[in-house]
Amino acid sequence: MAKRIDVKDLNVFYGSFKAIEDVSMTVEPRSVTAFIGPSGCGKSTLLRTLNRMHEVIPGGRVEGSVRLDDADIYGSDVDPVAVRRTVGMVFQRPNPFPTMSIGDNVAAGLRLNGMKDKKILAEKIEASLRSANLWNEVKDRLSKPGAGLSGGQQQRLCIARAIAVAPQVLLMDEPCSALDPISTLAIEDLIGELKSTYTIVIVTHNMQQAARVSDRTGFFNLAATGKPGRLIEMDDTQKMFSNPTERTTEDYISGRFG
């Protein structure tokens, strides 16, 4: 069920501001791809264009194409809502719905899309929480509010919520930056398990994290503040961190700037 993502000649704009210029890349199915780069280089923006979430911000638009296997997600007859069901997303800060219990949070995507069968919902809740390594911690309090969990548990809850709708691709926008090291480790382990089923793209500020969890890494940079971000280099993670082709990549990875 995992899909390949092909990005070709992508330019992203917010109004008249060009946020990303001329990005082409391929993301392999059943692998983890990390985006790294200094703040403001457009890595989060690019991530959001992969499920058309950038359109939520007024003025957001793209030129170029993003294909999931063979389908262009920016095709004229494609509904962005449908794209987001196929390409799920986990955000920087854990954001469980405050009005819903733990179980309802996991079932939210299914229920809000019209699923009513209680038995199927219960099965999906359990399966998703198990996949997110959270089931054992919350199985006795599924009806308690999701906001009562710790930050790390909330983030795993959000991952469970994202995978409950059975997406093909999972996008993660700095999923550990608000978490402590132990919770971070739990999420990283989880990413390692999830990649056997999903295509995962993760944005991270933490280069050790990129080195730990990803198979391939893309490095983004921008020429100057106010200039669009570009993909400088993309390669196997091991090569990127040991012997990158570009000088700026090496400078960034070794901590000389950024």
Partner 1 sequence: MTVADLTSGSSLSSARQWRPELGLGHRSRAREARNLLARVVMWTAFLIALIPLAWILWTVITRGIGLVLEPVWWNNSQRGITSRMVGGGAAHAIQGTLLMALVTAVMAVPVGVMTAIYLVEYGRGRLAKTVSFMVDILTGIPSIVAALFIYAVWVTTFGLQRVGFAVCLALVMLMIPVIVRSTEEMLKLVPNELREASYALGVPKWKTIAKVVLPTAFSGIVTGILLGLARIMGETAPLLILGPYTANLATNLFGGFMATLPTMINTNRVESLQPAIDRTWASAFTLILVILLLNLAGRLVARTSKVRN
> How far is residue 178 CA from its own chain's centroid?
15
Asked if residue 120 binds partner 1 (CB under 8 A), the reply is: no
Strand pairing class (216-222; 229-236): antiparallel
Task: Rule CB under 8 A: choose which of 145, 151, 177, 248 binds partner 1.
Answer: 145
Closest contact distance (angstroms) between CB of 111 and partner 1 is 8
Phi, psi of 67 (to 5 degrees): -115, 135
Q: If you search the block for the tokens 């959001």, which residue do you land on?
A: 48
Closest contact distance (angstroms) between CB of 82 and partner 1 is 7
Cβ neighbours of residue 29 closer than 8 Å, sequence gap 6 or more: 2, 3, 4, 199
Closest contact distance (angstroms) between CB of 146 and partner 1 is 9
Asked if residue 95 binds partner 1 (CB under 8 A), the reply is: yes
Distance CA 96, CA 139 (A): 17
Asked if residue 242 binds partner 1 (CB under 8 A), the reply is: no
Closest contact distance (angstroms) between CB of 114 and partner 1 is 9
Asked if residue 151 binds partner 1 (CB under 8 A), the reply is: no
Neighbours of 44 (CB within 10 A): 23
Distance CA 130, CA 124 (A): 10
In the region spanning residues 14 to 73, those forming contacts with partner 1, defined by CB under 8 A, are 51, 53, 56, 58
Asked if residue 255 binds partner 1 (CB under 8 A), the reply is: no
Phi, psi of 89 (to 5 degrees): -145, 140
Nearest CB to partner 1, comparing residues 116 and 256: 116
Chain residues that interact with partner 1, rule: CB under 8 A: 51, 53, 56, 58, 81-86, 88-89, 91, 93, 95-100, 108-109, 112-113, 145, 147-148, 158, 161-162, 165
